[in-house]
Structure formats: structure tokens, C-alpha cells
A and B are shown apart, each in its own frame.
Chain A
Amino acid sequence: MSATTTAPAPPSAPVENHVGKAGADTRISPRAHVRHTAALVRRNLLWIKADMESMIDAVLMPIIFTLLFVYVFGGSVGQSLGGGRDEYVQYVIPGLMAMMGMNMAMGVGTGFNQDFQTGVMDRFRSLPIARSSVMVAKIVVELLRMLVATAILMIVALIIGFSVESIPGFIASVGLAMAFGVGLMWIFLTMGVVMKSAQAIQGMGFLVLMPLQFGSSIFAPTKSMPGWLQTFTDYNPLSSLADAARGLMNGGTPIAHDVWVTLIWSVALTAITAPIAIHKFRTKT
């Protein structure tokens, strides 16, 4: 059976009346980028509105974690801090705030992965928008969820006797936690694109996050840990974040080093993983 006859034709523009359209591809202006991201943020907020249960983690996690840690470990850890439960409240609340970003970040990855199971991602990818808009919108919404969780954490903390020594310090520590959270979210977004199922991301996330969270200074001082573990916790960026947040809120201890370490980690994580995530998203078939 003969197929189409494609005789070699003279060199010319592809189609006569579209010659004017030849040339370099257009770029998406920063303003358009912001507009697209805003439209996608609105989409993700409508999801939350349609399904308020999806906020349950942001609402309950800070309450449950605070009560568990303060009342289960608070007494004994507080003693070793040279005080009691009140001492521990001052210690653990800034740490919990640092931890919140991690658990939220995992949600971004699983949510993004679920998006791929539906046809809507094909529609986004066939629209004249930057692929990164879809991801940035996810991050913006997750940061908003993080703010809600932080607000609830602070309400619970204040009720059980936490005192914020420095308001600017508190605001700075929220900013620091969010910056670090963004870095983690890019890692999970990459996993969301690359890995096959949301369950796989969740499983993997727990395996990585649990040692990072507990092998840090978030929940307890590292002084009593064995040497090898202390080496790990010293290099664990979560320790730096928790110590920085503690110093910023409670005052007293020098924090410049921890703030810098956290900032460098945050910037490095984003700088390395964001391009990978966007590239993987762009070339996903």
C-alpha cells in the first residue's frame, strides 16, 4: 500500500501565510508569570475550600505534637535542662515550629503526584504558561498552610505558658522556617514528578524525615547523646533551624552561626533541586 507521496519540495517557509510567525519563541513575562501562578494558587485554595478535611493535618498536628511532647517528655527533659515542664515548653515550641515545615513539605509531593493521575496536568502543559508556575503555586499554598499551622501552634503554646521574649525574633524565626520549608518542598516536588505513586513518596518521606527530626536538637538537647550521634545532629540542618528559632524567640544565646547555616542550606536546597524538579516536570511524558 502506498503511503503519502512526499516529493522533496524546494526550500521555503513551512506554510505560506504563516511566514511572519517564524522566529524565536516568546518568553513569558514576569508579570504574566505572577498572574498564572495566582490563578493556580486560587485553584489550590478552592481545593481546600471544597475539601476542608485536607486542612486537618495543619490544624491538628501542632496541637497533638505540642501536648504529646510537653506532657510526655516535658517533665524529665525539663529536669535535665535545670528546670521543669515550663523550661521544656520554652525549649520545644521553637523546635516544633521548625519541624512543621518538614511534614508539610511531604504533603506537597504527594499532592503534586496525585495531580499527575488526572488529565488536568496535560491541560496545564498544553497551555502557554511556564511549567514552574504550577509548582510555585503549590509551594505558595503550602506556605499559607504552614502559617495556619504556626498560628495554631502559637495559640496552644501560649495557653500552656509559653512566652515569646522577642516579637521580631519570632517573626524572623517563622521566616527562617518557611525558607527552609521551601527548600524541602522542592525536594518533595521532584519526588512527586519522578516517583510513581503518592504512597511511595509518603513511605520514602517518613524513612528520611524521622531520623532527621529525632536526630536533631528539636526535641531534646544533644549533650547527652553519644559522640557519633552528636556529630550527626551537629551537621543536621534541622538542629541549626531549631537552635536558631530558639535563640530568636527566647533571646540570650548567640544565633548568628545557626541562622547562617540554615539560610545557606535553604538557598542551596532550592538552587539545586528547583531546576531538577522543573526539568523533570518539563520532560515528563
Chain B
Amino acid sequence: MYGMTEIDNKPQRVTGGAANAVSVRGLVKHYGETKALDGVDVDVREGTVLGVLGPNGAGKTTLVRCLSTLITPDSGSAFVAGYDVVRQPRQLRRVIGLTGQYASVDEKLTGWDNLYMIGRLLDLSRKEARSRADGLLERFSLTEAAKRPARTYSGGMRRRLDLAASMIGSPAVLFLDEPTTGLDPRTRNEVWDEVKRMVGDGVTVLLTTQYMEEAEQLASELTVVDRGKVIANGRIEELKAKVGGRTLRVRPADPAQLRPTAAALDESGLTGLATTTVDDETGVVLVPILSDEQLTAVVGTLTARGITLADIATELPSLDEVFLSLTGHKTGETQDAASTRATDFEEVAA
């Protein structure tokens, strides 16, 4: 159960002097045998965006549902804007906005009526609720569709209406649960732009996603979850650096030199156990390196062989690669038995 002692002796971690808008310690939620959340710790500093990255069934949705008071955790503690999710749910609901995996708007009502209703439910006066609805429709480019039922909206319009609905109470903390799942790339970009604007207004955001690209676009910090556990967290660049080194992209001036370049580097033993990869399409050799010294050595080796370089660049590993090396399995991989079990769970929780 939710223990008294835990409240009185709550661990805290305040980073860089800024307060945590979301602070979660040892959060546990079981569904029968399935541990949806198995002792999760999460912090979101005020005014920042935290990406919670993980495959289906990792426990992302359960985390958001706990933090937005839709479900009660079995144990652990969670505070949002200083309010306890279990003990102060009503106060907490006043300062959060929630956009679920599936657009949570009333399909039968018009866009305007949806926003006006939520304004009234948030204790705005009739006049305030009216002007807030008008203002948000304008801001999310929905003014023309204001008087149409939400069921006639396109997927992107519905998400925008959903985001607008989350913003009515001017929340301090916004939870976005897979905000672009199921959207086409163009619409996804639209939603990203809106989220960036909201962040610009100083809202703290906790965003769950399965897309590496989305986390990179929107979040400054990342918590990687898998099967109910946090397996890594930190700034995105830190995580990338932590997981394996960089890749050097070497482009010989003469495309005919592509294979000799790769052979020279493999022979030199510079890359240790790893080997180079030739990408014929782009005409580059990919060289895994771990240090700056290796970079210098690569250039030295090639110069000694008389190979002229047109271009040389280092790149950080992609988040897909990060995830693979952190979890030992690819994102979205379901063959593995444990991961299949976790996937089943998320359907139950949804």
C-alpha cells in the first residue's frame, strides 16, 4: 500500500537548482501477474521536456495514467507540481493537461463546444470559457472548423483539438501519451510544431513515445523504459555517448578508392575488434571509433597510403541503436517471450 513512511521520508533529487515538476520514486503498478510498472523513478525539471521512450508494453501508458490520477499506483510515490497523485488528486487535476493515445474529445460535439465544455468544467466563467475556446481554436488553426462536429475532423485536426483541450486550464504540466501515433509524417510534423510552441510558453512536458525521431525532436532529456523498469536516463547526447562510441564517415575523393580505404583501415587494426562498413550508395566508409586519438590515427593511416579524402564526419549513434544496446533487443521486437507478455499487458491497460 501507499505507506506513510514513504511520504515522510521522500527521496528527492533537485537538478541544477531548478525544481522538479514531476517527481516519481519507486512507482509500482501490477495487473495480476504482470508488472506494468516495477519500481519506476522519473524526474522532470520545471520547464523542460522529458521523453519517456520504450516499446509497446514497456509501461509508458500506465505511468501517464498514474500521474494523471486515472489509476492508483500499488506503491511508491509520485508528485506532480508538488501534489501527491494519491492524496491530492483534485488539486493535481487542476494543474495538468492530458492528451491520450487516442484523441480524447467528444466526437459528437463541435470543436468549439468541446473546448467551451472543458472550460466550464475547469471553473472558468461563461465569458472566460467562450474567449478561451475562441483563442485556442485560432491558435491551433481550427477556427474554420469550429462549428463542425469533431467526428468530421481529419486525424491531425483531432489531435490539434485534443492539444487545445489540454491547454484550456493553462496547465503547469502536460502529459502527452504517444501524441503522434497513427499520424502520417506531415501531420506528425504539425503536431510537433504545436508541442514546441507550447514548450516555448514554459509548460513542463512529459511525453511518451515509441519514435526515436520524436524524442530527438521534442525532448531534452530521455528516460528509457522497458518492461516496467527504467533502464537508462539522461540527456539525449549523454545517452548516445554512453552507448558505444561514434561512427566516422570517411569519403574518399575518388570513388574507386572506396574499398582500398576500407581495407587499409581494417589492416591497420585501428578499429579494434570492430570492422569498417562500406556504403556504396553514398560512397563512404563507416568506421566505428571510441576516441579522438583514433580519429587522428585514421587520417594519418590514409594519408600514409596516399588516399585523398573529400569529406570526413563523425556521427552519434541513432536512438534505435541506443535502444538496442541498452535492452539487448530491438524496439518493437515481439518474438522474445518476455516482451510479448509485456505487450499483452498494455492492451489490458489501455
Contact = CB atoms under 8 A, between A and B. Distances in A.
Contact of A46 (B93, B105, B108): B108
A23 B20 CA distance: 19
A39 interface: yes
Main secondary structure of the interface of B (DSSP, over half): mixed
B192 interface: no
A21 B104 contact: no
B98 A4 contact: no
Interface in B115-152: 117-118, 120-123, 149
A35 B104 contact: no
A9 interface: yes
B231 A43 contact: no
Contacts of A13: 82
Interface in B58-91: 65, 68-72, 77, 79, 81-84, 87-91
Interface in A34-49: 35-36, 38-40, 42-43, 46-47
A128 B122 contact: yes
Contacts of B113: 43, 46
A8 B11 CA distance: 6
B12 A15 contact: yes
A11 B149 CA distance: 52
Contacts of B84: 14
Nearest to B231: A1
B100 A9 contact: no
B165 A126 contact: no
A25 B82 CA distance: 12
B313 interface: no
A128 B10 contact: no
B200 to A, nearest CB: 22
A64 B2 CA distance: 57
Chain B contact-residue range equals 35 or more
Nearest to B86: A25
B102 interface: yes
A124 B20 CA distance: 26
Interface string A126-140: 111100000000000
A9 B10 CA distance: 7
A203 interface: no
B347 interface: no
Given A9-B11, A128-B122, A14 B23 contact: yes
Contacts of B104: 118-123
Contact of A285 (B19, B25, B70, B108): B70
B20 A15 contact: yes
A126 B98 contact: yes
Given A18-B81, A21-B91, A127-B93, A119 B105 contact: yes
Contacts of B149: 50
A283 B92 CA distance: 17
B212 interface: no
A28 interface: yes
Interface in A97-135: 118-129
Nearest to A31: B123
Given A9-B11, A122-B104, A285-B349, A128 B90 contact: yes
Interface string A42-80: 110011001100000000000000000000000000000
A165 B83 CA distance: 61
A17 B19 contact: yes
Contact of A9 (B13, B71, B94, B326): B13
A21 B349 CA distance: 31
Contacts of B251: none
A285 B229 CA distance: 21
B253 interface: no
Nearest to A9: B11
B326 A1 contact: yes
A10 to B, nearest CB: 8
Given A3-B41, A119-B100, A42 B117 contact: yes
A19 B82 contact: yes
A166 B106 CA distance: 44
B107 interface: yes
Nearest to A4: B41
Given A1-B231, A123-B165, A118 B90 contact: no
Interface string B203-232: 000000000000000000000000001111
Given A14-B82, A39-B120, A51-B108, A119 B70 contact: no
A30 to B, nearest CB: 13
B167 interface: no
Interface in A150-208: none
Interface of B: 8-14, 19-21, 23, 25-26, 41, 65, 68-72, 77, 79, 81-84, 87-91, 93-94, 96, 98, 100, 102-109, 113, 117-118, 120-123, 149, 165, 229-233, 326, 349
10 closest A-B pairs by CB = A18-B82, A119-B104, A39-B120, A128-B93, A123-B104, A9-B11, A21-B82, A14-B79, A119-B102, A4-B41
Interface of A: 1, 3-4, 6-9, 11-19, 21-28, 32, 35-36, 38-40, 42-43, 46-47, 50-51, 118-129, 283, 285
